[in-house]
Structures are given as structure tokens and as C-alpha cells.
Amino acid sequence: MFEGDLDFMSQLSSSLLTEGRPFPQFSLPNQDKKTVQLADLAGKWFVLYVYPKDDTPGCTLEGRGFSKAKPEFDKVDVSVFGLSQDDVASHKDFCDKFSFTIPLLADTRAELLKALGVGQDEYKGKMYWNRVTFIVDPKGVIRKVYPAVKPEGHEAEVLADLKRLMHG
């Protein structure tokens, strides 16, 4: 890695939206072709987790974790959404294959991904969006960002932080 590469890498990571910033407006379909938009979530806490690709090992692990924890998120009245650039049909197949209970939003034009400042990494010659999670408060303000997510057990970390943020 060259010195210039480090500058470039820091510029990439600095574009990610941070705590205290408003969550970008969006209107995207989920796996059932139902449109979800920021306005629908006004007055409620929500979690949005960005993942690289449907039906891949880490993404499956993360989706299963959030689906298994959905009753815990429901108890505190928090909606959870997954987001990737995959299309509605791919999301539908992914949800059906693994019985996911978390809606997956299809950002096929990467508009929300770019607005959030999510970076990309190359894997086997193809670019994939990084795994990032956002906790957003009822006013639409980002309260917590996880910039480098490890999928296993991530839902428990998010739930614990969410409860602390909601009551702190």
C-alpha cells in the first residue's frame, strides 16, 4: 500500500454518515414489492443493516440472526430492515429459502447506499457493498453506526445498544 492509498482509504471511510446526522430520505421496495419509505418510520426507532449479497454465507448468518431476534426487537417496538443492491426477486428467494422475518429492501440503483456513504470492497474481481448497520431514532437521526460488522451475534450487540440508547 502506498501513502496515497491511505489518504484514499481515509476519504472513503469518512464519507460514511455518522451519529447525529439525519438519515437520508428513501423509498424502496421490499421482498414482497411493498414500498418502504422514511416517512413511514417517523416517530419510531429503526435499524437498517447493509449487507453485501443475498444467499452468501455471512449475509445468511446475519439475516438468520436478525430474524431469530425479531421478537426481541418487536417487544421494544423497533423495525429492522436489511438492505442490499440485489433486486426484489433475489430478496424474495433469499427470504423464502431461509424463512427470514426481516424485510429486505432492494436498492438496485444504490441510491440509498451512496447517500449513506457505504463503501465497497473488491472480492474476486467484483465490487460489493460493505457490511454496515445504522440505528435511527424516532426523529430520523442516526444514533449509532457500526462501520465494520461481523455478522455472527451482531443482532445481540445492536439490541443491547438500542435498549441503552432508548432509555439513556
| Residues with active-site annotation | 59
Q: Which of 55, 45, 41, 64 is nearest to 154 (CA)?
A: 64
**Rounded Cα distance, 87 and 28, in Å:** 10
> How far, rounded to the nearest angstrom, does the alpha carbon of residue 70 sit from its chain's CA centroid?
15
Distances (CA, A) of 131 to 10, 118, 163: 17, 8, 22
Residue listed under C-alpha cell 460489493: 128
Sign of CA dihedral 138, 141, 144, 145: positive
Q: Which residues contact 66 (CB under 8 A, 6 or more apart)?
A: 49, 73, 80, 82, 100, 102, 154, 155
Nine-digit cell at 76?
Answer: 421494544
Nine-digit cell at 89?
Answer: 426477486
